[in-house]
Amino acid sequence: MEVIILLGGPGAGKGTLAESLKDQTSYIHVSTGDILRVAVKAGTDVGLEAKVCMESGKLVSDEIILKIIKERIEQEPTDTKFMFDGFPRTIQQAEGLRELLEEINGTITHVLNLIADPQALIPRLCGRRTCKTCGAIFHVVNMPPKEEGVCDLDGGELYQRADDNEETVMKRLEVYKTQTAPLIDFYRNLGIIHDIAAGGTAEQTDTVALAALND
């Protein structure tokens, strides 16, 4: 099993890049945020616990996240190539992933560290709109849909995420800085991190990320 990790603050463009890479590579996209939002909508036990954390911008427990990832990995053959988006998010999660991969002879080949000015992230997140049915990501200014409120891909209704308001975004940025940013050094020490400038257009980010993967 081969794994690549998309690392970066809220709104850095992980989901947008993942959608593009998915079409151009053979990686399976796994977003822990998306999995949790499905659980919240379904009202499962995990969803009920996650809802409170997500709406306040805090992280869901490492135990829940590692269980979700283990179950997801086990659903696919051992030669699968995974692209993790938003996971790991703490050193404990990174250690847990290392142990899971050791058990199945898996390896992390690349960590793409998306770097964008934190000031640019707030307007990106507050203007994000997501398709209720297919999950496609738009932005009211940067990447507007052809028809307001309607997904270009399947005509689904676009909605604004509950955690995409300025107050929660500020909290998410703080959580990123204290709990997730330490992973940059963690993976830099392993020599597998690639810094990707993510402050330009989404197409520019794609080009640099693809070049890093082919490095």
Tell me which residues are annotated as active site: 14, 89, 128, 161, 172
Q: Which residue is nearest to ligand AP5 (CB)?
A: 33
- Rounded to a whole number of angstroms, the minimum distance from the CB of residue 34 to ligand AP5 is 7
Nearer to ligand AP5, 107 or 142 (CB): 142
Please report how close the Cβ of residue 155 comes to ligand AP5 at its closest, in angstroms: 18
**C-beta closer to ligand AP5: residue 40 or 79:** 40
Please state, in angstroms and rounded to a whole number, the distance separating the CA atoms of residues 4 and 112: 8
- Strands (E) across 59-210 are located at 81-85, 107-115, 128-131, 137-139, 158-159, 193-197
Q: Tokens 């257009």, residue?
A: 201
Which residue, 124 or 194, has its beta carbon nearer to ligand AP5?
124
- Report how far apart the first and last C-alpha atoms of the chain are (Å, whole number): 19
| Residue the block writes with tokens 């898996």 | 106
**Distance between CA 71 and CA 39 in Å, rounded?**
14
| 39 in Cβ contact with 50 (< 8 Å) | yes
- Report the relative pairing of strands 28-31 and 107-115 from DSSP bridges: unpaired
18, two tokens: 């993942």
CB of 84 to ligand AP5, least distance (A): 8
Pair type for strands 107-115 and 2-8 = parallel
CB of 49 to ligand AP5, least distance (A): 11
Binding region for ligand AP5 (CB under 6 A): 8, 10-16, 32-33, 36, 53-54, 57-60, 65, 86-87, 89, 93, 124-125, 127-128, 137-139, 142-143, 163, 172, 198, 201-202, 205
Q: 14 or 77: whose CB is closer to ligand AP5?
A: 14
